[in-house]
Amino acid sequence: MKGFLLRCVFLWTMLPRSNMQSAVPATVLNCCEGDVLILLDSSGSIANYEFSRLLRFAGELFQPFSLGRGHVRVGLLQVGTKPNLVFGLDDHSSQESLQKAMQHVSHLQGDTNTVAALGVAQQLLTENVPKILLWMTDGVQPGDVDEPMTKLKAQGVSVLIVSTIHGNYQVLQRAVTPPLESHLYSVDIDNIEIITEDLREAIIKIIRAERLRVVHLTSHSAVLQWRPVLSADNGYYELWYNSMSDTDPVTRRTVSGDSSWVELTNLQPDTTYTASLRPESNQRLFNTLSVNFTTLPDVLSPSVVSVSDSGPHQIRVSWGPLQPARVLRYTLEYGVIPSGRVQTVTLHGQKNSTVLRGLEPGTQYLVTVSALHKNGREIAMSVKACTQEAALPALTDLRLTPVERQEVQVTWQANQEGLKGYWLSWERENSHMSSSKSSCLSVPYFTFDTAHTPCPEQPSVCVSSLQFRPGRRVMLHSRESLRFQPQGLTDCSRVCSKKHG
Ligand SMILES: *[C@@H]1O[C@H](CO)[C@@H](O)[C@H](O)[C@H]1NC(C)=O
Ligand SMILES: *[C@@H]1O[C@H](CO)[C@@H](O)[C@H](O)[C@H]1NC(C)=O
């Protein structure tokens, strides 16, 4: 015990205060998976001041960890006359809520009934992950903890102890899980921060995730991931896997030492496999990691059929998943519902969409996509699809209204969105001269008058209700003949200057 105490004294006199809260490497965050139960002595023998220092210390200790299932779960159990579970292992999955909870723990006072609390701990630390009991105590009369501690350790729990200096060392020494140097700390409460990093490292060593995980699964493949323990030049991984059926031979592979994941392909759907990974290095011996997983049930194309881009005379039919290695060809059958003639299109197995043309507008069709698989199976799926109503001409309802003797108002209806301007031309009907005239319109209201029209000898035309929508060329006859051709603005000015320039 003396040597141990000396070590601590030595440490805290050597360390400058400013170093005590050193930055924690970000790599710590997702390093670990395990359960840590803090067993906090909250009896009357602990001073209030000590109690709050211990809590602050515990908060800092766990600050860098990702919390929650699959990461680190932290619980807090108080020792008093009766045990008090402040929060359980599943209560805090964010640092914010854990730290807040740590700040609001009240001091129980009363006796140090550690044995009763250990009984609760035994029931809490049962999951099949690395488990730690972090006992924080003043070490004064903890009761007969030998037997419950032995039980806990037999249950796979590592016992780590932080004791303020007056503790009964023999008891603590028997309770702690070896090695003592990193698992048992006796410190002066005023300098407790000096052990934060060492203790955290000891915890990380225990709960460092040593697991082979399945991170992605399909019907024919699986991606396995693990925490890297080698590098390219100091070893490699030996991987082997097979389905759990006895007849399946084991597949073996070596994986480079700098890898942390591998994809297993060509697996059978809906089958349970077992995979193992052993890091091979001549510097250290590593445990073999194993995992069992079941591939997803098979998906046979087509499992999805959809319709898009439908127009009055066509629809696009798409399907998936694309399985070019497994599908020989697709056949599409389509006909008007309920009793139209059925037409058929055959497509290569590499296609996953096609456009059906020559359809009736505003009509409902039944479309069936069937795939002939290389193994002889035929899978079919149907959808109903409607063609659009026949489209209206883009520009309709052209009207000419005489306004004054020399003026006529032109209005029309546009049936499409998005156009920036129109091209307008007019001519005198009974003229024998070539007198066709035109102009660009790019504002919603436009009036020609004799002064500004490109051809002053022509009757002026007043255009109103001009809507900025696209359309297509229409020709309507009235007293004047007018042609409308919608244009984009830039096109429009180009056309104008060409015509009149
Ligand atoms: C995988 O399944 C086998 C047989 O059920 C079992 O013995 C083994 O412990 C399992 N391995 C893991 C990692 O769960
Ligand atoms: C069709 O195949 C292409 C690749 O060839 C893919 O990008 C697209 O998502 C597929 N469409 C469907 C509906 O599966």
- The mean pLDDT value for 201-211 works out to 86
Ligand 1 midpoint to CA 290 (Å): 8
Question: For residue 310, how far is the Cα from the chain centroid?
Answer: 33
- The mean pLDDT value for 380-386 works out to 91
Phi-psi group of 475: left, alpha or beta (phi > 0 → left; psi -120 to 50 → alpha; rest → beta): beta
Q: Which ligand is nearest to the Cα of residue 303, counting in written order? A: 2
Name the range with the highest mean pLDDT among 159-163, 213-217, 231-235, 410-414. 159-163
**pLDDT greater than 80 at residue 460:** no
Please choose, from the candidates 173, 182, 179, 126, the residue with its C-alpha nearest in 3D space to the C-alpha of residue 154: 126
- For atom 2 of ligand 2, the residue with the nearest CA is 352
- The mean pLDDT value for 252-266 works out to 92
Residue 403: the pLDDT is: 62
For residue 321, give the ligand 2 atom closest to its CA: 14
Q: What's the CA dihedral at 196, 201, 207, 212 to 10 degrees?
A: 140
Residues in Cβ contact with 45 at an 8 Å cutoff, skipping those fewer than 6 apart: 112, 138, 140, 141
Residue 176: the pLDDT is: 92
pLDDT grade for 498, boundaries at 50, 70 and 90: very low
pLDDT grade for 183, boundaries at 50, 70 and 90: very high
For residue 352, give the ligand 2 atom closest to its CA: 1
Domains and CATH numbers, the chain: 11-207 (3.40.50.410), 212-294 (2.60.40.10), 304-386 (2.60.40.10), 395-500 (2.60.40.10)
Asked which of 36-40, 207-211, 237-241, 359-363 is least confident by mean pLDDT, the reply is 207-211
- The mean pLDDT value for 108-122 works out to 94
Q: Token pair for residue 210?
A: 């040593």
Residue 137: the pLDDT is: 92
Going across the sheet that includes 261-264, the strands are: 213-217, 222-225, 261-264
Residue 452: the pLDDT is: 35
Question: For residue 145, how far is the Cα from the chain centroid?
Answer: 47
- For atom 6 of ligand 1, the residue with the nearest CA is 292
Residue 459: the pLDDT is: 32
pLDDT grade for 178, boundaries at 50, 70 and 90: confident
For residue 320, give the ligand 2 atom closest to its CA: 14
For residue 318, give the ligand 2 atom closest to its CA: 13
Question: For residue 69, how far is the Cα from the chain centroid?
Answer: 18
- Across 145-191, the runs of DSSP E, i.e. the strands, are 157-164, 184-187
Residue 497: the pLDDT is: 28
Asked which of 28-37, 192-201, 218-227, 366-375 is least confident by mean pLDDT, the reply is 28-37
Residue 144: phi, psi to the nearest 5?
A: -85, 85
pLDDT grade for 353, boundaries at 50, 70 and 90: very high
Pairwise CA distance, residues 448 & 410, whole Å: 11
**pLDDT greater than 80 at residue 271:** yes
Asked which of 120-129, 308-317, 390-399, 426-435 is least confident by mean pLDDT, the reply is 426-435
pLDDT grade for 401, boundaries at 50, 70 and 90: low
Ligand 1 midpoint to CA 246 (Å): 14
- The mean pLDDT value for 39-66 works out to 93
Residue 480: the pLDDT is: 36
- The mean pLDDT value for 323-349 works out to 91
Other C-beta atoms lying within 10 Å of the C-beta of residue 405: 6
Better-scored residue on pLDDT, 13 or 44: 44
Testing ligand 1's pocket by substitution, the residue of 128, 292, 293 carrying the most ligand atoms inside 8 A of its CB is: 292
Better-scored residue on pLDDT, 2 or 248: 248
Residues in Cβ contact with 93 at an 8 Å cutoff, skipping those fewer than 6 apart: 67, 68, 69
Q: Is the peptide bond before 454 cis (omega within 30 degrees of 0)?
A: no
- The mean pLDDT value for 239-268 works out to 90
Element holding 238 (H helix, E strand): strand 236-243
Residues with CB under 6 A from ligand 1: 274, 290-292
Residue 157: the pLDDT is: 92
Pairwise CA distance, residues 487 & 420, whole Å: 7
Pairwise CA distance, residues 301 & 324, whole Å: 10
Better-scored residue on pLDDT, 229 or 482: 229
Residue 376: the pLDDT is: 87
Asked which of 72-81, 132-141, 405-414, 490-499 is least confident by mean pLDDT, the reply is 490-499
Residues in Cβ contact with 151 at an 8 Å cutoff, skipping those fewer than 6 apart: 122
Phi-psi group of 53: left, alpha or beta (phi > 0 → left; psi -120 to 50 → alpha; rest → beta): alpha
**pLDDT greater than 50 at residue 285:** yes
- The mean pLDDT value for 358-381 works out to 91
- For atom 4 of ligand 1, the residue with the nearest CA is 244
Testing ligand 2's pocket by substitution, the residue of 306, 317, 352 carrying the most ligand atoms inside 8 A of its CB is: 352
Ligand 2 midpoint to CA 267 (Å): 23
- The mean pLDDT value for 111-123 works out to 95
Q: What angle do CA 326, 332, 334 make, to 5 degrees?
A: 160
Better-scored residue on pLDDT, 375 or 193: 193
Q: Which ligand is nearest to the Cα of residue 211, counting in written order? A: 1
For residue 291, give the ligand 1 atom closest to its CA: 13
Residues with CB under 6 A from ligand 2: 318, 320-322, 352
Q: What angle do CA 458, 463, 465 make, to 5 degrees?
A: 170
Residue with tokens 């003592």: 180
Please choose, from the candidates 12, 30, 28, the residue with its C-alpha nearest in 3D space to the C-alpha of residue 20: 12
- The mean pLDDT value for 449-470 works out to 34
Q: Which ligand is nearest to the Cα of residue 307, counting in written order? A: 2
- The mean pLDDT value for 90-113 works out to 93
Pairwise CA distance, residues 125 & 90, whole Å: 12
Ligand 1 midpoint to CA 274 (Å): 7
Other C-beta atoms lying within 10 Å of the C-beta of residue 124: 18
Per residue in 222-252, is it b (16+ CB within 10 Å) or e — as a string? bebbbbebbeeeebbbebbbbbeeeeeeeee
Residue 500: the pLDDT is: 31
- The mean pLDDT value for 384-397 works out to 75
Q: Are 294 and 271 a contacting pair, CB within 8 Å? A: yes
Please choose, from the candidates 273, 24, 247, 282, the residue with its C-alpha nearest in 3D space to the C-alpha of residue 265: 273
Q: Which ligand is nearest to the Cα of residue 287, counting in written order? A: 1
- The mean pLDDT value for 266-282 works out to 92
DSSP 374: T
Q: Which ligand is nearest to the Cα of residue 319, counting in written order? A: 2
Residue 39: the pLDDT is: 97
**pLDDT greater than 80 at residue 343:** yes
Residue 165: the pLDDT is: 72
**pLDDT greater than 60 at residue 416:** no
